[in-house]
Structure 1
Amino acid sequence: MPASPAASRTATEREPVPKTGAARRRAGRPAAAVLDLAGITAAALRLIGKNGYDGLTMAALARSLHVAPSALYNHVESKRDVLLLVEDHLTALVDVTAFAAEPWESAVRKWAWSYRDVFAEHTPLIPVIAVLPVTDAPQTLAMYETVSAGFRAAGFPEERIVSAIVALESFIFGSAYDVTAPADIFDSGSMAESTPSFTGAVRSLAALRHEKPADVAFSLGLEALIAGFGALRE
C-alpha cells in the first residue's frame, strides 16, 4: 500500500537526502582548531613574499588566514612573536650537521652556503631578522649553539667566537641579496670609457660561462674569511 504524503514527508525529514558537492560546515565552533603555529608561520611567509615585510601586519595576517584578529591573538601576542616563528622556521632549514662530523673549515663552508641559500629565498626578511633578538627562539639558539661549539672545539678563543659568527653572517646576508641581483647590475653604460678598469673587469666575467657570478663572489669571500679566521685558532 503506498505511503501517505504525510508519512513520506516524515520519512524525508528524518533522513535528509545528502547534497552533492562540498559539505557545508555547521554553525558554531569547529571541531578542530582553525589555527596553529605552523599555519601562522606559513601564512606570514607567504604574505611577506607577496607584499614585503611592510605588508606583514597582524590585521593582514588574520585576513590571509580567514580569521578574526582576536583568534590570531590566541596564539601569538604580537608581531614580534610572528617574526620569531618565521626566524625559527628559516633557521631550522640551515644545515649545521657538518660541525659534528667534519673539520672546522668544511663545517663552516657547508653552514655558510646553506645559510646563504635559505635567505636568498627570503631577502625581504634579512633587515628584520639580522637585528631581531634571539630570545625565546629555540631553533635559532640551537643553531648558534652548534656553531659556537664547533668554533670552540676548533680552538677559537671564546671571546672571539660570537664576533666571528657575526662577521660571517654579515657576509652571508649581503651575499643572499647578490643572488637575486639583476644580471646587469654592474653595467657602466655610457660611462664605460671613463671607467675602463672596472668595465673591463665586469666584461671578463663572461668567461665564467658555467658559474654564476654570485656563487663565484661568495666562494671567494668565504674562503678568505675561513683562511683569515683560521689564524685565530689556538
Structure 2
Amino acid sequence: MPAVPAAQQRPADGGIRRRRAGRPSSAVLDKAGITAAALELVSRKGYDGLTMAALAKELDVAPSALYNHVTSKQDVLLLVEDHLMSLVDVSGFGTGTWEEAVRRWAWSYRDVFAEHTPLIPVIAVLPVTDAPQTLAMYETVSKGFLDAGFPPEQIIPAIVALESFIFGSAYDVTAPADIFDSGTMAESTPHFTAAVRDAAAGAGRGRPADTAFSLGLDALVSGLGVLRRANPME
C-alpha cells in the first residue's frame, strides 16, 4: 500500500490534515513591507510603540521571521528614515537657481520631519550606509551645490549646517503656541515680553514657526551663498 503524503495524513478524528495553502508569511517579507508596517504602527502608537515584537505582530509573523530581514530596531528605523528621505523634494536642483532649489528642499525636508520629530534624535546620528533613498537625496543636493560653484570641501559642512537648522525647525512646528509666554514674570522681562508680543502681531495669520523658518533660511541661504564661486550656468 503506498504511503500517504504527510500533507494529507488522516488525523485521529478521521479528517484530512492539509498543509495551509500558499507560502509561509515569513517568505513574503521584504524591506518595503516591513517599512510600511513600521510606519502604520508608528501612526497608531508613536515611535515608543515601535518594538520588534509589535512589528512582528503587525506583520502577522513570528519575531524569528522578522529577524531574518532586520537584525534590530535600529535597522527598522533606518528603513523608515530612508523612506522619509525619499519624500524630500530635490527637484529644484538642476532646474532652477541654487537659491530656489535650496529653499524648496529645505521647506520640504522640514515638513516631512515635522511629522516625525521622534525620529530626529535617531537619524541625526544614524549612518547613511546602505540607505539608497537617503544617499540619492544627498547625491542630488551635493551635485547641485557643486554645479552652483561651491568649493567641494565646503559642500558637506554647508548641508550639515542647513540640516541642523531644519531639524530644529521641525520641532518648532509642533511647539505649543504659548511656548514664550513669560507668565507672572512678564514685568521683570519687559523686553522679551514685548518682543514676543510684537512677533505675534507681525506674524498675522501665518504660523510663527513658518515665519521663523523663513527668516532663518533666508539668512542661511544668503550667508552660504557667499561661498559660491561665479557660476556661468546661472
TM range (shorter): 0.7 to 0.9
Q: With the length of structure 2 as denominator, give the TM-score of the two structures.
A: 0.84
How far did residue 66 of structure 1 move?
2.3
Is 1:48 the equivalent of 2:48?
no
CA-based RMSD of the aligned residues comes to: 1.7
Deviations 1:118-156 (A, max 9, x none): 000111100001111000000000000000000011111
Residue 209 of structure 1 is aligned with which of 190, 204, 209?
Answer: 204
Other-structure match for 1:231: 226
> Which whole-Å CA distance do the structure 1 matches of 2:36 and 2:170 have between them?
21
Deviations 1:107-127 (A, max 9, x none): 000000000000001111000
Is 1:39 the equivalent of 2:33?
yes
Other-structure match for 2:189: 195
Deviations 1:68-118 (A, max 9, x none): 101212322332321221111000000001001011001000000000000
Deviates more, 1:41-50 or 1:131-140: 41-50
> Which whole-Å CA distance do the structure 2 matches of 1:144 and 1:198 have between them?
39
Which 5+ residue runs of structure 1 have no aligned equivalent?
Answer: 1-25
Is 1:30 the equivalent of 2:25?
no
Q: With the length of structure 1 as denominator, give the TM-score of the two structures.
A: 0.84
> Which whole-Å CA distance do the structure 2 matches of 1:118 and 1:184 have between them?
24
Classify 1:32/1:95 alpha carbon distance in 2 versus 1 (closer, same or farther; 3 Å).
farther
How far did residue 27 of structure 1 move?
5.6
Deviations 1:29-69 (A, max 9, x none): 53585533222112212333444434322112112222210
Other-structure match for 1:76: 70
State whether residues 95 and 114 of structure 1, in contact with CA within 8 Å, keep that contact through their aligned partners in structure 2: yes
What is the correspondence of 1:140-219 to structure 2 with a 5 Å cutoff?
140-204=134-198, 205-219=200-214
Which 5+ residue runs of structure 2 have no aligned equivalent?
Answer: 1-17, 230-234
Other-structure match for 2:102: 108
State whether residues 49 and 122 of structure 1, in contact with CA within 8 Å, keep that contact through their aligned partners in structure 2: no
Q: Report the number of matched residues.
A: 209
How far did residue 199 of structure 1 move?
0.6
State whether residues 49 and 124 of structure 1, in contact with CA within 8 Å, keep that contact through their aligned partners in structure 2: no
Deviates more, 1:133-142 or 1:199-208: 199-208
Other-structure match for 1:127: 121
Identity of aligned residues (%): 75
Mark the structure with the bigger radius of gyration: 1
SS at match of 2:201: helix
Residue 227 of structure 1 aligns with an amino acid whose one-letter code is S
SS at match of 1:88: helix
